[in-house]
C-alpha cells in the first residue's frame, strides 16, 4: 500500500512529465480505438452488404447441390426442415428458393439467364431484393405468374416493364419447361449480381420446373451474424438426426474466396495498426526513460536508506501502470461521444456509391469486442514492456553513482 501511495505522489509531483506521458497514451489509445472501429465497421458493412444482397448468413441444400447443382437435387420434406429453423432462437428469418439455368428470348434476341423462384414475403426478410426493385412493382401476391428481370436482361433483350419474356429450360422430370411471362419489374442495374436473373414467384417457378412443393435452397439470417458458423453447426446437427443428406453451410464456406480475401485485407490493416502502436510504444518508452534519468539522485537516496532493487522496480512499474490506467479512463470518456458519432453518423462520401443497385453515402464504424478490447490489451502490454528497461536502469544504479549525478 505504501508503494501505491508513493507512486501516486510521484505522479503528482512530476506533473509535467506525467502530463506528457499521459497525452501520449491518451492520444495513442483514442487513435488506435478509432482506427480499429473504422476498420471493423468497414468490414462489417461489407459483409452485411454481401450477405444481404442474396447469399444470406447460412444456406441449406440437399447433399452436394451447392457444389454440383442439378434441378432434381431438391429438399422435399420442407415442413420438417422449417420446423427445425423455427425451433432455433438464433434464426431470425429464412426463405426457400428454386434455381435453374434457362434461355430467355424476346423478339429475335436470345440470352442465357438464371431463373430463381422466391417466396415474395419471406425473401424480403432475408435479402434486399425488394429494395432493389425500383422500376415496376415488387410481387404483392405469392401466386403471381409474372417475372421480375435483372437490368442486364432488360438491356440485352431490349424489353421493359409491360413486355413479355419467354423462358425455356428443363424440368425436374426430364420434360421441356417453357412459358411466357409478363415483365412487372426490373431489378437493380447492369452491375448487380442479379443483372442476368429472372425472378419468378416460388409457386410459379415450381410449376415451371415441375418440382411440386420441393425447393433447392433455404437462405437464413441469424440474429448475431458473427455467430453464424456456430448456428450453422447446431442446425446441421439437428437436421442430420432427421434428414442425413441435408448440408448446412455458413457464407464463409459458400464463398470461400471472398472470405479469404477479407481475412488477408484484415491482416494488412492489422500490420498498419501495428506500426501505429509501435509509434505509441516509442513515445511512452521515451517519456518513462527520461523520467527515470531525471530521478537518478532520488533512486540513489532510496537505495542508500536500505531499499532493495526489486522495490525500485515495483515502484516504477506501479507508477507507469497507475498512470496508464488513469489515462485509459480519460480516453474512454473521450471515446464515448467519438464512437457514438462514428457508428451513427460516420463520414459522408463526396458522391454516393452504387453497389449492385444499392446506394451508399456513409462510411460508419463498428463497436465490436475487438475494437474495444484490443487497444486496451496492446496499451497495457506495451506499457509493461517499456517499463522493463527504465526499471532495470534505476535498480542497477549504486548510491555513490546516483549521488554524484546531476
CB hemisphere CA count around 78 (13 angstroms) = 14
Determine the pLDDT at residue 15.
67
Residue 275 and residue 352 in one domain: yes
Domain boundary among 193, 217, 244: 244
Residue 20 and residue 100 in one domain: no
Residue 113 and residue 148 in one domain: yes
Residue 323 and residue 284 in one domain: yes
Asked if residue 252 belongs to a domain, the reply is no
- 45-54, 113-122, 297-306 — which is least confidently predicted? 297-306
Asked if residue 57 belongs to a domain, the reply is no
Domains: count for the chain: 2
Residue 221 and residue 342 in one domain: no
Residue 277 and residue 382 in contact, taking contact as beta carbons nearer than 8 Å = yes
Residue 26 and residue 73 in one domain: no
130 has a pLDDT exceeding 80: yes
CA pair distance 152, 198, nearest whole angstrom? 10
Residue 271 and residue 392 in one domain: yes
| Cβ neighbour number for residue 2 with a 10 Å cutoff | 8
The distance from CA 273 to its chain's CA centroid, rounded to whole angstroms, is 18
Contacts of 276 (CB under 8 A, 6+ apart): 28, 31, 32, 35
Asked if residue 58 belongs to a domain, the reply is no
Residue 106 and residue 157 in contact, taking contact as beta carbons nearer than 8 Å = yes
Residue 142 and residue 33 in one domain: no
Asked if residue 299 belongs to a domain, the reply is yes
- pTM for this one? 0.75
Determine the pLDDT at residue 342.
83
For residue 373, give its domain range. Answer: 2-51+259-403
Asked if residue 238 belongs to a domain, the reply is yes
Per-residue pLDDT reduced to its tens digit, 357-406: 455 566 777 777 777 787 888 778 877 877 777 777 777 766 666 565 55
**What are the backbone dihedrals phi and psi of residue 339, each rounded to the nearest 5 degrees, phi first?**
-70, -35
356 has a pLDDT exceeding 60: no
Residue 366 and residue 279 in one domain: yes
In this prediction, what percent of the chain has a pLDDT beyond 90?
A: 39
Asked if residue 374 belongs to a domain, the reply is yes
* Mean pLDDT value across the chain: 83
Determine the pLDDT at residue 267.
77
| DSSP three-state, residue 216 | coil
Residue 230 and residue 341 in one domain: no
- Position with higher pLDDT, 322 vs 76: 76
Asked if residue 281 belongs to a domain, the reply is yes
Per-residue pLDDT reduced to its tens digit, 24-74: 778 878 888 888 788 777 777 778 878 888 899 999 999 999 889 999 999
Domain boundary among 244, 277, 297: 244
Residue 290 and residue 149 in one domain: no
Asked if residue 228 belongs to a domain, the reply is yes
Domain boundary among 244, 267, 297: 244
Residue 197 and residue 283 in one domain: no
CA pair distance 149, 158, nearest whole angstrom? 12
Residues 196-214 have a mean pLDDT of 94
Amino acid at each position: 500500500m505504501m508503494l501505491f501511495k508513493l507512486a501516486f505522489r510521484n505522479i503528482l509531483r512530476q506533473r509535467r512529465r506525467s502530463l506528457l506521458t499521459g497525452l501520449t497514451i491518451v492520444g495513442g489509445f483514442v487513435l488506435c480505438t478509432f482506427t480499429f472501429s473504422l476498420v471493423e465497421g468497414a468490414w462489417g458493412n461489407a459483409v452485411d452488404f454481401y450477405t444481404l444482397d442474396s447469399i444470406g448468413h447460412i444456406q441449406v441444400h440437399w447433399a452436394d447441390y451447392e457444389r454440383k447443382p442439378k434441378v432434381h437435387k431438391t429438399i422435399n420434406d420442407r415442413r420438417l426442415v422449417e420446423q427445425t429453423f423455427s425451433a432455433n432462437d438464433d434464426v431470425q428469418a429464412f426463405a426457400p428458393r428454386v434455381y435453374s439455368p434457362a434461355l430467355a428470348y424476346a423478339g429475335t434476341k436470345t440470352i442465357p439467364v438464371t431463373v430463381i423462384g422466391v417466396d415474395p414475403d419471406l425473401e424480403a426478410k432475408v435479402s434486399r431484393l425488394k429494395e432493389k426493385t425500383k422500376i415496376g412493382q415488387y410481387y404483392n401476391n405469392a401466386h403471381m405468374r409474372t417475372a421480375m428481370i435483372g437490368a442486364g436482361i432488360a438491356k440485352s433483350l431490349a424489353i421493359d416493364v409491360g413486355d413479355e419474356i419467354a423462358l425455356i429450360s428443363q424440368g425436374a422430370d426430364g420434360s421441356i419447361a417453357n412459358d411466357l411471362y409478363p415483365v412487372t419489374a426490373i431489378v437493380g442495374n447492369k452491375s448487380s449480381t442479379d443483372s442476368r436473373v429472372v425472378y419468378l414467384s416460388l409457386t410459379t417457378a415450381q410449376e415451371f420446373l415441375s418440382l411440386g412443393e420441393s425447393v433447392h435452397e433455404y437462405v437464413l439470417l441469424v440474429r448475431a451474424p458473427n455467430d453464424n458458423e456456430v448456428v450453422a453447426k447446431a442446425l446441421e446437427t439437428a437436421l442430420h438426426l432427421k434428414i442425413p443428406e441435408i448440408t448446412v453451410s455458413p457464407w464463409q464456406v459458400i464463398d470461400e474466396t471472398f472470405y479469404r480475401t477479407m481475412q488477408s485485407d484484415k491482416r494488412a490493416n492489422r500490420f498498419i495498426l501495428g506500426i501505429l502502436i509501435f509509434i505509441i510504444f516509442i513515445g511512452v518508452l521515451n517519456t518513462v526513460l527520461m523520467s527515470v534519468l531525471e530521478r537518478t539522485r532520488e533512486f540513489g537516496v532510496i537505495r542508500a536508506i536500505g531499499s532493495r532493487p526489486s522495490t525500485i522496480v515495483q515502484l516504477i512499474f506501479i507508477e507507469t501502470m497507475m498512470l496508464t490506467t488513469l489515462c485509459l479512463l480519460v480516453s474512454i470518456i473521450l471515446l464515448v461521444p467519438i464512437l457514438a458519432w462514428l457508428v451513427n453518423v460516420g463520414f459522408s462520401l463526396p458522391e454516393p456509391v452504387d453497389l449492385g443497385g444499392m446506394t451508399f453515402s456513409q462510411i460508419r464504424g463498428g463497436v465490436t469486442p475487438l475494437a474495444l478490447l484490443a487497444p486496451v490489451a496492446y496499451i497495457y502490454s506495451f506499457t509493461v514492456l517499456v517499463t522493463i528497461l527504465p526499471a532495470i536502469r534505476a535498480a542497477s544504479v549504486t548510491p555513490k553513482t546516483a549521488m554524484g549525478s546531476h
